[in-house]
Amino acid sequence: MKRILLLGFILLGIGGSVWSQKVNEPVGNPEWVKPYKPFRIAGNLYYVGTYDLASYLIVTNKGNILINTGLSSSAGLIKKNIEALGFKFSDIKILLTNQAHYDHLGAMAAIKKQTEAKFYVNAADAEVCKTGGATDYEMSHLGRSFQPVIPDRLLKDKDIIQLGNTRLIMLHHPGHTKGSCSFLLNIPDGKRLYKVLIANIPTIITDRNFSEIPAYPGIRNDYAYTIPVMKQLQFDLWVAAHASQFGLHTKRKEGDAYNPAIFADRKGYDKVLKEVSGDFKNHP
């Protein structure tokens, strides 16, 4: 698996009157900021992120849920994508993330302020969210890599998140971060009901020996737990926190017709986890 974090980045200081605190957000991957036309994945689930940083909109009869917000510059793009689909940005009521890293939380504080939505996070990632990444076990050297965001609700494994007629189950999948998580939900689509997994793939981002990470003493045990558990998950469709992880751009091109079936791809899911498992076994 490609280590998409920490390699070849430069630091960009972001300040100004919008933020109360400066952050150092690594930039460098053009696919993380490249626009991508939003589209309907299945039923009431939509892709509203950038070319590679996936953001998901779940539309319910009581408002909407947004999962992941990309980099700090993505706030406007996500708003534009949501409105292009015919939905109101202000209808976002709940904000979620797959993991507490800047490439998924960069615009979270801004969107939370703009929409007044509630931010729910896996309890194990709460501290990193509050410090803007400054307490992350691997990237604390950056200081704040995203604007701090205060959670409104702390989640634990298999907690239910409900808004209107939609229920998500949060699955604790630690390793990549202490509180990395995936979400399972049922998506109605006409006469069909899809069980959809929004996965956090447990890639390894550190080059250090696991035993040399005092800020995360349980990291090896967490990976040893997460990978087998994810292999056992059952679902009809799956996507992930990065478009590249679930092969979005080989499965569809911008403007393609609506086709939920392309996201079934159990073989692709198993292949990704096999690669991650190999990385884990070979990691000192």
For the record, the structure tokens of 177 come out as 């971060």
Instruction: Please give the pLDDT value at position 10.
Output: 31
The model's pTM is 0.92
> How many other CB atoms sit within 10 Å of the CB of residue 160?
9
Is beta strand 192-199 parallel, antiparallel or unpaired with respect to 237-240?
parallel
Determine the pLDDT at residue 65. 99
Domain 15-282 has CATH 3.60.15.10: yes
Label residue 11 by pLDDT band (50, 70, 90): very low
Q: What angle do CA 109, 111, 112 make, to 5 degrees?
A: 60
Mean pLDDT of the 1-14 span: 37
Residues with Cβ within 8 Å of 97's Cβ and at least 6 positions away in sequence, in order, are 67, 68, 69, 104, 105, 108, 121, 125
d(C-alpha 173, C-alpha 179), whole Å:
7
Is the pLDDT assigned to residue 192 strictly greater than 70? yes
pLDDT tens digits, 131-140: 999 999 999 9
Taking Cα atoms as reference points, which of 45, 109, 57, 47 lies closest to residue 88? 57
Per-residue pLDDT of 55-112, as tens digits, reads 999 999 999 999 999 999 999 999 999 999 999 999 999 999 999 999 999 999 999 9
pLDDT > 80? residue 119: yes
The yes-or-no verdict on residue 157 having pLDDT over 60 is: yes
Q: Where are the domains of the chain?
A: 15-282
Q: Which amino acid is at 201?
A: I
- DSSP letter (8 states) at residue 246: G
Instruction: Report pLDDT digits (tens) over 56-71.
Output: 999 999 999 999 999 9
| Length of the chain measured in residues | 284
